[in-house]
Amino acid sequence: MDIAVIGLGLIGGSFCKAIKAKTAHRCLGFDISQNVCQKALENKSIDKIITENDLDKADLTIVCLHPADTLNFLKKNVSKFKKGSIVTDSCGIKEYINSNVAQLYSDNGVNFVGAHPMAGREFSGFDYSLPNLFEGRSFIIVPTEFTNSETTDVLKSLAADLGFSNIVISSPQVHDQTIAFTSQLAHIVSNAYVKSPTIENESGFSAGSFMDLTRVAKLNEDMWTELFMNNRDALLFEVENIIEKLSEYKNALKENDSKKMHSLLKEGRMIKEKSLMFHADRKKPD
Amino acid sequence: MDIAVIGLGLIGGSFCKAIKAKTAHRCLGFDISQNVCQKALENKSIDKIITENDLDKADLTIVCLHPADTLNFLKKNVSKFKKGSIVTDSCGIKEYINSNVAQLYSDNGVNFVGAHPMAGREFSGFDYSLPNLFEGRSFIIVPTEFTNSETTDVLKSLAADLGFSNIVISSPQVHDQTIAFTSQLAHIVSNAYVKSPTIENESGFSAGSFMDLTRVAKLNEDMWTELFMNNRDALLFEVENIIEKLSEYKNALKENDSKKMHSLLKEGRMIKEKSLMFHADRKKPD
């Protein structure tokens, strides 16, 4: 296939590099920065630089922009894609994208299917992209009501080729609700965690737990604000929930209730162990 | 030196293995489980199994028990140690230990100095102990008002030999206040994090951020309850602080205030970056 990648940042660049390293497909690259395009061409991450007018050359197009830019690009260019070709995205929220483009793409004879590669780094941009960024990670496919099974199958197969080890099919609603917990809440909690005056003394007093809890505090606030504000209800539920749970530990401390503290900690430990067992048991998807 | 290690769990076992692997000192091991003692002797983690009556054989003793057990052991056995020898512990809270034993040890002619090796795993017990557990980690030395500099120097030098890369001298108060933030809060937040009904759908939807945030949710509730309840004021401050900070993100979501969300995220990102720069700049201690 000829695969177009739109936006050669961390995710888009990693798609290009993985396509070139792991498949026989041709990779066409588009980015607003000519500098980045040239770099990608020179280091053979892409076979060809394209413009918006070349979108009809691709059999499959992966849009790798921030949420609002993804939606704008998809809306603006719907008529430029090859009829019958596949268009997908890599946005971290799916209802926002799918609900706005499903009908439009169906009407234009282009096979749209949403996707979310569950991978990232604490760095942004093409320079940090990696051919193995997706190895062992989850790839979530989010069909619209118009997506046919052939389209889903092509994407599944490509994701497996690119190294994703776990391919999940989800509705936009389940995706957004779950991601609010597994990813968005993690970024908020981590970002809030560092906001203690005690961080001034931290150096020399931290072990792995501090590093783990605060790794994703270093985030791209432009992108994450968009993701959060477009998934408000689900994320609000999770933030309110963790505040409520943390308040239980707070009360146990306040009331000097070590029995309560012990039972709170035991409860959390058991939930975590159950979740770990589930991961260990999980079969690889076909 | 002849070094006695009291309690051959994850930390004690790792001390034994590191002493044998990296130094020429002899290692004497004590544990309430004869089974563990035998195993340690057989796999050469220790040179000799000792009882409480052999404590006078050691030039340096490292007590590696849970907080209340550490204090009990130190109080009960003060008269059994060799006069002029060094006794230290590995407890995660220092005021609780130091304030209860400083005078007692001074009166008995034994050189007590508190210590906290900043290392751990999500597993407990001798079977999980490792000779390289301390490599690259911080070792915090917490002298009492009676600790002489020779004692501190012996411990510093041993810690460096065992692989610790960062050796910090602290007062019990600064230690306990800082550890409440860097370690104890991390365990509470992680333990609270998993308590969302959404965890049922988590599998397939999680990337590194979820794994990082919830790694230490799997904790030993017996030990951590002791640590938390003996450091209540400092920990309560941190738990209340993060609840307050999280409430700001909650309000930004509730009020659909993306400008506020953006500025909250940017603030956290900048604090984290500053902390990372500080780590990168930090010189190795001498």
Digit-by-digit pLDDT tens for chain B (286 residues) are 999 999 999 999 999 999 999 999 999 999 999 999 999 999 999 999 999 999 999 999 999 999 999 999 999 999 999 999 999 999 999 999 999 999 999 999 999 999 999 998 878 899 999 999 999 999 999 999 999 999 999 999 999 999 999 999 999 999 999 999 999 999 999 999 999 999 999 888 987 899 999 999 999 999 999 999 999 999 999 999 999 999 999 999 999 999 999 999 999 999 999 998 877 655 433 3
CA distance B182 to A10: 30
Q: What is residue B281's predicted lDDT score, i.e. its pLDDT?
A: 55
Partners of A49 in the β-ladder: A29
Chain A residues closer than 8 Å to B195 by CB: 241-242, 245, 267-268, 271
pLDDT digits (tens, 9 = 90+) for B202-234: 888 987 899 999 999 999 999 999 999 999 999
Q: Which of B204, B226, B249 sits opposite A239 (nearest CB)?
A: B249
Asked whether the beta carbons of residue B215 and residue A232 sit closer than 8 angstroms, the reply is no
The tokens describing A216, both together, are: 């994703």
Spell out a b/e string for A207-238, using b for 16 or more CB atoms within 10 Å of the CB, else e: bbbbebbbbbbbbbbebbbbbbbbbbebbbbb
**How close does chain A come to B73, measured CA to CA in Å?**
22
Other Cβ atoms closer than 10 A to A165: 14
pLDDT digits (tens, 9 = 90+) for A191-215: 999 999 999 998 889 878 999 999 9
Q: What is residue A152's predicted lDDT score, i.e. its pLDDT?
A: 98
Asked whether the beta carbons of residue A272 and residue B120 sit closer than 8 angstroms, the reply is no
Q: What is the mean pLDDT of residues A125-149?
A: 96
Q: What is residue A280's predicted lDDT score, i.e. its pLDDT?
A: 64
Other Cβ atoms closer than 10 A to B259: 9
Q: CA dihedral in degrees (B158, B161, B165, B168; nearest 10)? A: 10
Chain A residues closer than 8 Å to B188 by CB: 246, 249
Look-up of token digits 């610790």: B164
List of domains in chain A: 2-170 (3.40.50.720), 175-281 (1.10.3660.10)
Helix axes B172-179, B95-107, angle to 10 degrees: 160
Q: What is residue B285's predicted lDDT score, i.e. its pLDDT?
A: 35
The tokens describing A282, both together, are: 């999980």
Asked whether the beta carbons of residue B140 and residue A204 sit closer than 8 angstroms, the reply is yes
Residue B231 DSSP SS3: coil
Q: What is residue B228's predicted lDDT score, i.e. its pLDDT?
A: 98
Q: What is residue A283's predicted lDDT score, i.e. its pLDDT?
A: 41
Least confident of A4-8, A84-88, A123-127, A232-236: A123-127
CA distance A191 to A245: 18
Q: What is residue A121's predicted lDDT score, i.e. its pLDDT?
A: 81
Number of Cβ pairs closer than 8 Å across A and B?
Answer: 309
Percent of chain A with pLDDT over 90: 92
Asked whether the beta carbons of residue B207 and residue A118 sit closer than 8 angstroms, the reply is yes
Q: How far is CA A125 from CA A40, A64, A105, A185, B266, in A?
A: 12, 11, 29, 23, 18
Partners of A143 in the β-ladder: A113
Residue A27 has pLDDT above 80, yes or no: yes
Choose among B239, B136, B232, B103: nearest CA to B176: B232
The complex's ipTM? 0.91
Asked whether the beta carbons of residue A191 and residue B262 sit closer than 8 angstroms, the reply is no
Q: Is there a contact between A285 and A170 (Cβ–Cβ < 8 Å)?
A: no
Residue A285 has pLDDT above 60, yes or no: no
Give the chain B residue nearest A269 (alpha carbons).
B218
Q: How far is CA B191 from CA A273, A286, B104, B212, in A?
A: 11, 33, 37, 12
Q: Which of B180, B243, B250 sits opposite A250 (nearest CB)?
A: B243
Assign 3-state DSSP to chain B and report helix, strand, coil percentages, each to 5.
55, 15, 30
Strand A138-143 to A111-117 pairing: antiparallel
Q: What is residue B280's predicted lDDT score, i.e. its pLDDT?
A: 64
Q: What is residue A206's predicted lDDT score, i.e. its pLDDT?
A: 85
Q: Is there a contact between A72 and A100 (Cβ–Cβ < 8 Å)?
A: no
Determine which helix (DSSP H) or strand (DSSP E) holds B56, and give its type and residue range: none
Q: What is the mean pLDDT of residues A163-168?
A: 95
Task: Give the neighbor-by-neighbor strand order of the sheet with A26-30.
Answer: A48-49, A26-30, A2-6, A60-63, A86-89, A111-117, A138-143, A166-169
Q: Which of A138, A229, A273 sits opposite B258 (nearest CB)?
A: A229
Q: Which of A225, A273, A275 sits opposite B202 (nearest CB)?
A: A275
Residue B34 DSSP SS3: helix
**Cα angle vertex B278, ends B277, B282, to 5°?**
120
